[in-house]
């Protein structure tokens, strides 16, 4: 298991659920993904899932913690399965937001594999409207992005709801979807966003069916129902509707 600041980040037994659900919906939402940006993702497991897609030509990974990335590369080979050494990978050790503020590169897909935005954490400014506007500027016309969007248990869903509403303020298509990891001891959700106004679940499923992979969780069957949400989540989106901004993150 990987812990940061005493908090569980990932477990060998079930990390595949998190990473398959984070990566594949975004990549299958694009008609032909060739370039991908990963912000965060120090374990390398997101890289593992991205490189399952045959058309990938370039992956840029930006992580603020070089020591963590090196530890994961050496000590967690079960997560990255050697994909840190893929020649298509361009690894940058720097703040993801600063990278995006200075880069002009356009990507087909962006994966935001981030730690939790606790107060005082550098991750706080990677969940705001201003940051999502940066993300949007780096996406091609049919580009897609997936975001690790926190816990969705009824007592702690407020932040997830605000993240989702913030993304709806920026992107034309936004679809949250739940999943559960035993090591997190709660239900969580990712959020998919697309620049493609014609995005549809049926098209995503057709692409998954045409490209069989040796996945352990994500599948056409999972995709068919992944966007079905319980009423309490819809209620939360109406209740916790304040947009997250650089100035007003926890207020």
Catalytic site residues? Answer: 113
Closest C-alpha among 50, 28, 30 to residue 205: 28
CA dihedral of 149, 154, 156, 159, whole degrees rounded to 10:
40
Closest C-alpha among 130, 147, 163 to residue 26: 147
Structure letter (DSSP) for residue 111: E
Q: Cβ of 227: how many Cβ atoms within 10 Å?
A: 14
Phi, psi of 39 (to 5 degrees): -105, 120
Q: What CA–CA distances, in Å, run from 174 to 63, 146, 165? A: 25, 10, 9
């Amino acid at each position: 298991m990987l812990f940061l600041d005493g908090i569980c980040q990932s477990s060998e037994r079930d990390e595949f659920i998190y990473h398959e659900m984070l990566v594949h919906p975004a990549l299958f939402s694009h008609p032909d993904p060739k370039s991908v940006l990963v912000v965060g993702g120090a374990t390398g497991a997101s890289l593992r899932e991205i490189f399952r897609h045959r058309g990938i030509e370039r992956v840029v990974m930006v992580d603020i913690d070089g020591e963590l990335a090196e530890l994961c590369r050496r000590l967690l080979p079960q997560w990255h399965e050697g994909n840190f050494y893929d020649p298509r990978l361009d690894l940058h050790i720097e703040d993801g937001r600063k990278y995006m503020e200075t880069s002009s590169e356009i990507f087909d897909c962006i994966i935001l594999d981030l730690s939790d935005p606790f107060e005082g954490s550098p991750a706080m400014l990677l969940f705001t409207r201003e940051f999502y506007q940066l993300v949007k500027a780096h996406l091609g016309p049919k580009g897609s992005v997936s975001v690790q969007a926190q816990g969705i248990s009824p007592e702690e869903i407020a932040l997830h709801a605000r993240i989702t509403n913030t993304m709806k303020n920026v992107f034309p298509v936004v679809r949250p979807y739940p999943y559960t990891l035993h090591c997190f001891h709660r239900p969580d959700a990712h959020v998919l966003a697309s620049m493609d106004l014609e995005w549809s679940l049926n098209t995503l499923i057709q692409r998954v069916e045409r490209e069989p992979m040796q996945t352990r969780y994500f599948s056409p069957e999972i995709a068919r129902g992944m966007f079905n949400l319980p009423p309490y989540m819809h209620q939360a989106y109406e209740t916790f509707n304040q947009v997250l901004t650089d100035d007003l993150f926890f207020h």
